[in-house]
């Protein structure tokens, strides 16, 4: 799979902006002071389903509806945000959407998918097992399978990257969380299309590190588990297509710990008054880890979603009050 070009993404935008407005990118002074850099946040958490994935879902379902006169229904696996995007977009075309999630998946994300009209099936202990089951059901039930990484999905989500690059000039670096890879590949595509020199830095959880392991091995590596509060990053096997693009074009991949993710969630709350889910906070966690490397630079972070269970969020904030060291303040002042 090749990267979408500028025309591809503008075409996707023409479809997506019928239902969505571009999201803001905000320079938060408190966050910049903490990091010691000029930090810009791309607020994909402000989209209707609370995450960037809706862009890809809208464009994918539009393309599918154009190419087929009769669609029996679609099926996909998810930890939540991809499923919400497919359910949201399918409902607009009157298409049946079946979503497979692992057992113990986020309660709030499950409820959100069902509220959008999705038929929910729980299967397996993690995303990869749920994904395999979805492929089996697609064959037996005659449904169209939707992978979590697809050219239409990448073109759709790349619209946020185009918005970001056009709104904030001369970004030195941008930190992007990696689940199955559509988000970072969309950012890479627009960086390349616009001829920019911005470093694109991928971020994974230490407990779900298939991508850095796969880059080192030169092929997709399956890990034994992906146990992280960043459920959007909880995959055990890298997408071969995404891996190839990331290996060729990303500056590096940063692994962040569970405590660093929790800390970043707290910092979004205190510095920006924003709710962040674990996968979204991972990008900020990586920037905090590399703050000395980014000192004085203009840096972007993608706040990719805000769908976190209330109980978990309150637990994280409560832990922050008991452990102030989670969010140390910098003496840097943005001039």
pLDDT range class, residue 333, cuts 50, 70, 90 = very low
How many domains does the chain divide into? 2
Same domain, 268 and 213: yes
Same domain, 47 and 57: no
What pLDDT digit, counting tens, does each position of 17-27 carry?
Answer: 999 999 999 99
Q: How many Cα atoms occupy the beta-carbon half-sphere of 44 within 13 Å? A: 31
pLDDT of residue 225: 85
**Is the pLDDT at 206 greater than 70, yes or no?**
yes
What pLDDT digit, counting tens, does each position of 158-188 carry?
Answer: 999 999 999 999 999 999 999 999 999 999 9
Q: How far is CA 199 from CA 250, 252, 266, 288, in A?
A: 7, 9, 26, 16
Residue 332 lies in a domain: no
Write down which residue in 129, 145, 161 finishes a domain: 145
**Is the pLDDT at 123 greater than 70, yes or no?**
yes
pLDDT of residue 327: 45
Which pTM does this prediction carry? 0.92
pLDDT of residue 321: 54
Q: Tell me what the pLDDT averaged over the chain comes to.
A: 93
Distance CA 201, CA 303 (A): 14
Residue 242 lies in a domain: yes
Distance CA 68, CA 70 (A): 6
Same domain, 100 and 238: no
Residue 322 lies in a domain: yes
Q: How far is CA 25 from the centre of its chain?
A: 16
Same domain, 203 and 291: yes
Residue 1 lies in a domain: no
Domain that holds residue 135: 53-145
Q: What is the share, in percent, of the chain residues with pLDDT greater than 90?
A: 91
Same domain, 118 and 138: yes
Same domain, 155 and 104: no
Same domain, 300 and 217: yes
What pLDDT digit, counting tens, does each position of 237-287 carry?
Answer: 999 999 999 999 999 999 999 999 999 999 999 999 999 999 999 999 999
Same domain, 210 and 284: yes
pLDDT of residue 80: 86
Residue 40 lies in a domain: yes
Write down which residue in 91, 117, 145 finishes a domain: 145
Decide: helix, strand or coil at residue 281. Answer: helix
What pLDDT digit, counting tens, does each position of 26-59 carry?
Answer: 999 999 999 999 999 999 999 999 999 999 999 9
Decide: helix, strand or coil at residue 257. Answer: coil
**Is the pLDDT at 307 greater than 90, yes or no?**
yes
Same domain, 118 and 217: no
Which CATH number belongs to the domain containing residue 70 in this structure? 3.40.50.1100
Question: Region 122-140: what's the mean pLDDT?
Answer: 93
Residue 334 lies in a domain: no
Same domain, 168 and 263: yes
Q: Which residues of 227-264 are buried (b: 16+ CB within 10 A; e: fewer)?
A: ebbbbbbbbbbbbebbbbbbeebbeebbbbebebbbbb
Same domain, 133 and 159: no
Question: Region 202-212: what's the mean pLDDT?
Answer: 97
Looking at per-residue confidence, does 88 or 332 come out higher? 88
Write down which residue in 145, 175, 205 finishes a domain: 145
Same domain, 112 and 173: no
């Amino acid at each position: 799979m090749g990267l979408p070009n500028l025309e591809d993404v503008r075409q996707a935008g023409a479809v997506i902006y019928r239902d969505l407005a571009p999201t803001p990118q905000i320079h938060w002074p408190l966050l910049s002071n903490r990091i010691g850099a000029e930090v810009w946040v791309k607020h994909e958490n402000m989209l209707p389903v609370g995450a960037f994935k809706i862009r890809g879902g809208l464009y994918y379902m539009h393309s599918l509806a154009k190419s087929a006169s009769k669609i029996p229904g679609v099926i996909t696996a998810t930890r939540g945000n991809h499923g919400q995007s497919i359910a949201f977009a399918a409902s607009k075309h009157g298409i049946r959407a079946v979503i497979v999630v692992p057992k113990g998946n986020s309660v709030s994300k499950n409820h959100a998918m069902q509220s959008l009209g999705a038929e929910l099936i729980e299967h397996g202990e993690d995303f990869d097992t749920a994904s395999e089951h979805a492929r089996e059901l697609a064959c037996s039930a005659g449904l169209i399978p939707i992978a979590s990484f697809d050219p239409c999905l990448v073109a759709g989500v790349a619209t946020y990257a185009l918005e970001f690059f056009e709104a904030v000039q001369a970004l030195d670096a941008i930190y992007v969380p990696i689940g199955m890879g559509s988000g970072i590949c969309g950012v890479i595509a627009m960086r390349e299309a616009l001829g920019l020199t911005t470093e694109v830095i991928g971020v994974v959880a230490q407990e779900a590190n298939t991508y850095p392991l796969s880059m080192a091995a030169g092929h997709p590596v399956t890990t034994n588990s992906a146990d992280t509060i960043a459920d959007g990053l909880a995959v055990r096997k890298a997408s071969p297509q995404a891996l190839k693009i990331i290996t060729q074009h990303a500056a590096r991949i940063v692994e962040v710990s569970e405590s660093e993710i929790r800390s970043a969630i707290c910092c979004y709350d205190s510095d920006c008054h924003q709710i962040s889910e674990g996968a979204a906070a991972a990008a900020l966690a990586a920037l905090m880890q590399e703050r000395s490397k980014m000192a004085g630079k203009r840096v972007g972070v993608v706040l990719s979603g805000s769908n976190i269970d209330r109980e978990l969020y309150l637990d994280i904030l409560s832990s922050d009050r008991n452990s102030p060291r989670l969010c140390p303040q910098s003496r840097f002042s943005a001039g």
